[in-house]
Amino acid sequence: MLTKKVKKRVSLLSILLFLLIISLFFILKSLTSNILYFKSPTDVQLEQDVNSLKKIRVGGMVKKNSLNINDNEIKFIITDFNNELLVSYTGTVPNLFSEGKGVVAEGRLQDKKFFIADRILAKHDEKYMPPELKELMNNDAK
């Protein structure tokens, strides 16, 4: 079955695939900043200068006990457990938005510690369970 022709085609194909993977790897590597859907607070810290006109997205966890809702704005802290970022937002939030859950905020950076959001998206984690089980787990934690 493995004649000379077939062997030739196999080697051609493997070389082509190898080149394709290598080139794609470099393309993706150079595009990383565009592929990232949001920046973490650490990424924001590492940036050289703050451009307060450019729209960006930042994401992480809503820090526990940091959510502060008053009449005209919602304030909370996004954390990636290394760095933190204070976010101010006016408007409605998705149902899943709450403390200790993932969040993505779209808006403009004022400085490296303060962010004004135009839109809030809630991020869901990969865990699925019935509500009774969650209550049991909460009771155990207490």
Partner 1 sequence: MFYLISPSKVFNLIEKLINFINSIFFLLLIVALTFALILSPPDYLQGDSVRIMYIHVPSAWIGLGSFTAIALLSILNFTLKIKNLNMISKSLAPIGLLFTCIAIVTGSLWGQPTWGTWWAWDARISSMVVLSIFYILLILTHKFILEDFKANKIFNILAIIGLINVPIIKYSVDWWNTLHQPSSINLLKGSSSIHPSMLLPLILMLLVLLLYCALIFLMKYKTEIIKIKKKNIKRI
Contacts with partner 1, residue ranges (CB under 8 A): 1, 6, 9-10, 13, 16-17, 20-21, 24, 28, 32, 35-40, 59, 93-97, 104, 119-134
Residue 59's CB is within 10 A of a number of other CB atoms, namely: 21
Helix (H, G, I), strand (E, B) or coil at 92: coil
Comparing CB distances to partner 1, the nearer of 37 and 114 is: 37
Q: How far is the CB of 68 from partner 1 (least distance, A)?
A: 20
**At 90, which amino acid appears?**
T
Task: Give the residue carrying structure tokens 């962010």.
Answer: 115
First to last CA, the chain: 67
Q: Is 28 helix (H, G, I), strand (E, B) or coil?
A: helix
Q: Output the smallest distance, CB 26 to partner 1, in A.
A: 13
Pick 86 or 97: Cβ nearer partner 1? 97
Least Å distance between CB 104 and partner 1?
6
